Copies of this chain bind each other. A is one copy, B any other.
């Protein structure tokens, strides 16, 4: 998996910082997560191919998480996109996007498929043979979901030396990868485990922004490899966490620890702080493996 942070600052776009948006490259899918104003320019700056984006996940309808969506949809149209585009987000998103298309008399040539979310329970919203995506209901001022991206267990890998030693027909390789025993050229049964290696452990990534401190979500994100958790404030502004339903770096780290995740990435920083390293300093004593998101930063895991 490769995660590219397009924007990770809260509230308003500024000269050198962008509101929330990220791209997750997972098993040949390019998932766009949130789409603040300016996302399409950030996609260009980070040389991400527009046509590879087929699924967009919107956490909630605060502007810093979706005001760039209508422009991106419109740009896809101007680029003569033909591929379907799936959009997952809170109810209301379809109305606001289609109203703007109606007013501009600019309908997309490609198919725009809205998957409007209303459930307060986690649900499976995307699945194919390689990946599944679940919502993570979050506690915020408006209806909000995080998203959990899980790779499925992949195919077994051929141990080529063993395969050649056993003299197995190429036509059987596919079956081997799928875990079956096969016959070799001499007509002998070859046990799958003797010529294949187990698949790589499937990875998982949880995106949690925006949210108040909330232990309810821990069971959903338990043991994920990487957790992006918002840390809008530092503990010294804990009162603002309460009123705005955001988290501090310490709270994010506490969730990471309790959920036993592999790595924590912080983001959604309030622009009141000049130095984002303070967020890391606050989180590290509670959860050691913590990184700071920043616009343009890439995480591979």
Contact = CB atoms under 8 A, between A and B. Distances in A.
Interface of A: 11-15, 37-38, 40-41, 44-45, 61-63, 67-68, 70-71, 74-75, 78, 90, 92-93, 95-96, 99-100, 103-106, 141-142
A270 to B, nearest CB: 11
Contact of A63 (B15, B90, B96, B104): B104
A63 B67 contact: no
30 contacts: A11-B75, A12-B75, A13-B38, A13-B41, A13-B71, A15-B41, A15-B44, A37-B37, A37-B38, A37-B40, A37-B68, A37-B71, A38-B41, A61-B100, A61-B104, A63-B70, A63-B100, A63-B104, A67-B67, A67-B70, A67-B74, A90-B103, A92-B103, A95-B99, A96-B96, A96-B99, A99-B99, A103-B142, A104-B142, A105-B142
Nearest to A44: B15
A79 to B, nearest CB: 8
A149 to B, nearest CB: 25
What is the count of identical protomers in the complex? 2
Contacts of A96: 96, 99-100, 103
A68 B68 CA distance: 9
Given A15-B41, A37-B68, 8 more contacts: A12-B40, A12-B74, A13-B41, A14-B41, A63-B71, A67-B67, A92-B99, A95-B99
A100 B96 CA distance: 7
A11 B63 contact: no
Contacts of A37: 37-38, 40, 68, 71
Nearest to A73: B63
Given A37-B37, A100-B96, A67 B71 contact: yes
A77 B61 CA distance: 16
A90 B104 CA distance: 11
A78 B9 CA distance: 14
Contacts of A44: 14-15
A75 B110 CA distance: 32
Nearest to A93: B103
